[in-house]
Chains A and B, each alone.
Chain A
Amino acid sequence: MTENDRPVIELKHVHKHFGDLHVLNDISLTVKKGEVVVIIGPSGSGKSTLCRAVNRLETIDSGEILFEGEPLPREGRKLAEMRARIGMVFQSFNLFAHRTVLDNLTIAPCDVLKTSKKEARQEAMRLLERVGVADQANKVPAQLSGGQQQRAAIARALAMHPKAMLFDEPTSALDPEMIGEVLNVMAELAKDGMTMLIVTHEMNFARKVADRVVFMDGGCIVEENTPEAFFGHPKSQRAKDFLSSLTAH
């Protein structure tokens, strides 16, 4: 096994129920180092839950989730340390509302990683530059557009030097004209070799950036393939129906 084949995220026979709903049904999935895996599927298919389970924002009923070969700790300091190594980007940005954009990027490195204030600020400015919101550094999140907030949120996750990034529908809350700027940042990140697990409805993005597309429906992984194969010749009827429903209008 070469360095690049090493799995970063590994799910083995993961099950989860919300009451009667079998929201994750025997999910097994591997994301290798540097790989970009995009999860698509109708709403309610369990894709967000899957994404959130990877850093244990959702607990699972059975099965196993490994990060960099280690099982996800269940609680306490170990779990927090593991989460610090996994970046997460949310649908609703969730920037800390009482802090400036710059503080949003420095607060966790200073509090959690014990980075010096000065170092954290330099790194934060570098990252804000990279995602193109450096000029907004001293504003509070509410003063930014949705696209700017989401790019800042990506930078906040990157400030922790994560080993992998989770994106939970990062563009679903955005006005259409702002989706592109966020996807561009994500595509850049993919090109730089970041390991990424992305839940999204942006099919063009999936086609261009993904190494692998995972199609989920009813809590199951129905199909898993390269983007060319999946979008060109979907094998399952459910995937065909889903894709045709997107292009129907």
Chain B
Amino acid sequence: MKTGSIRDILYEAPGPKARRRIAWATAGALLLLAALLFIVVRQFYVTGQLGERYWAFFGKLTTWRFLGEGLLTTVEAAITGSAISFALGFLLMRGRLQKNRLLRWASTGIIEFTRGVPTLLFIYFFFLVVPQTGWKLSAFWKITLPCAISACGVVAEALRGGVNAVPKGQREAALSLGYRETRLFYRIIFPQAIRFVIPSLIAELVIVLKDTTFASIVSCADLMQNAKVLISNYDALLSIYLVVAVIYILINYLLNKLSDRLARRMNRAGAAERSAA
């Protein structure tokens, strides 16, 4: 069986009239887009933003190496931050699903707190408050840790959603075979839950990656910070931001594509399971 896209679920197949209307709307939208692009480029031209001095340095290897170093730091921070947030999120999810009331309340509290507080506040906390306690952190950790903490509550809730999505018959079957709670969770429930939440986890990775752009606050040399250095060097704000934006968009686009593909694969497996149940 072919699994349909969301569009197939939401709308019925268009008839001849609807098809004509869609064609006109598409043509109109394309025209509008072209006009917008023209206006932007023209404005660039008029204000001299297309001038050689704003773009020439992109021909130099050092520019790209500098941006590349920043990108590497960004990727490192995003991966490390996500890994930490996944680990913390897992612990919080386990805590929230415990029978022990104290553990459950504590976990719920931390989850709600981290979900409610903006990332920027956590960054200022690590930037301004933590150093006063004498805890010496490198710039890298000053951005990575707050990003991880800010994400961990959302991760915990995503994981909990996955755990709750596993049919309760799976648990009963395992209990009837003599499983006890802990092993039942790791052997039967979690391996199934993780398949439901991989797309949400990748979405969270994208959010962590975007949060790392605050790194310049703590002087961590990520892509954004290095872009700012270039901007003051060459006095070229627009062109550099444009290029950096394209780089961010590309990375996140690839991540989202990956997430889509994984989700589709999971859905196929899931649909087969459900239709057989």
State the main secondary structure of chain B at its contact with A: helix
Q: Does A229 count as interface, using CB distance less than 8 angstroms?
A: no
State whether A98 touches B272 (Cβ < 8 A).
no
State whether B178 touches A96 (Cβ < 8 A).
no
Q: How far is the CA of A86 from the CA of B173 in the complex (A)?
A: 12
Q: Does A119 count as interface, using CB distance less than 8 angstroms?
A: no
Q: Identify which of B179, B183, B188, B273 contacts A141 (C-beta below 8 A).
A: B273
Residues of A within 8 A of B195 (CB): 98
Chain B binder among A41-49, A106-114, A177-185, A207-215: A106-114
Q: Identify which of A55, A97, A146 contacts B273 (C-beta below 8 A).
A: A97
A95-B173, A142-B272 known; A83+B178 contact, CB < 8 A = yes
Residues of B within 8 A of A146 (CB): 276
Interface size on A, residues (CB 8 A): 37
A143-B272, A160-B178 known; A96+B173 contact, CB < 8 A = yes
State whether A98 touches B276 (Cβ < 8 A).
no
Residues of B within 8 A of A111 (CB): 179, 183, 187
Q: Identify which of A55, A77, A95 contacts B176 (C-beta below 8 A).
A: A55
0 or 1 for each of A180-205: is its CB under 8 Å from B? (1 = yes): 00000000000000000000000000
State whether B192 touches A57 (Cβ < 8 A).
no
Q: How far is the CA of A46 from the CA of B229 in the complex (A)?
A: 74
A92-B169, A94-B170, A97-B192 known; A144+B177 contact, CB < 8 A = no
State whether B273 touches A83 (Cβ < 8 A).
no
Q: How far is the CA of A185 from the CA of B275 in the complex (A)?
A: 24
Q: How far is the CA of A65 from the CA of B276 in the complex (A)?
A: 35
State whether B273 touches A108 (Cβ < 8 A).
no
B216 CB to closest chain A CB (Å) equals: 44
Of B172, B177, B183, B273, chain A has the most CB atoms within 10 Å of the CB of B177
A98-B195, A108-B179, A111-B187 known; A90+B272 contact, CB < 8 A = no
Residues of A within 8 A of B176 (CB): 55, 57, 83, 86-88, 157
0 or 1 for each of A207-238: is its CB under 8 Å from B? (1 = yes): 00000000000000000000000000000000
Report A78-135 residues with CB < 8 Å from chain B CB.
80-81, 83-88, 90, 92-98, 107-108, 111-113
Q: Does B191 count as interface, using CB distance less than 8 angstroms?
A: yes
Q: Does A15 count as interface, using CB distance less than 8 angstroms?
A: no
Q: How far is the CA of A145 from the CA of B175 in the complex (A)?
A: 24
State whether A80 touches B276 (Cβ < 8 A).
no
Residues of A within 8 A of B175 (CB): 55, 57, 80, 83
Q: How far is the CA of A137 from the CA of B188 in the complex (A)?
A: 19
Residues of B within 8 A of A83 (CB): 175-178
Q: Does A156 count as interface, using CB distance less than 8 angstroms?
A: yes
B201 CB to closest chain A CB (Å) equals: 17
Q: How far is the CA of A113 from the CA of B183 in the complex (A)?
A: 13
Q: Does B269 count as interface, using CB distance less than 8 angstroms?
A: yes
CB nearest to B177 among chain A residues: A108
Report which A residues bind B (CB closer than 8 A).
55, 57, 76-77, 80-81, 83-88, 90, 92-98, 107-108, 111-113, 140-146, 149, 153, 156-157, 160
Report which B residues bind A (CB closer than 8 A).
167, 169-170, 172-180, 183, 187-188, 191-192, 195, 269, 272-273, 275-277
Nearest 5 CB-CB pairings of A with B: A84-B178, A94-B173, A88-B176, A94-B169, A108-B177
User: Can you pick out 25 interface pairs between chain A and chain B where the beta carbons lie within 8 Å of each other?
Assistant: A55-B175, A55-B176, A57-B176, A80-B175, A80-B178, A83-B176, A84-B177, A88-B173, A90-B169, A92-B277, A94-B167, A94-B169, A94-B170, A96-B174, A108-B177, A108-B178, A111-B179, A111-B183, A111-B187, A112-B179, A141-B273, A143-B272, A143-B276, A146-B276, A160-B178
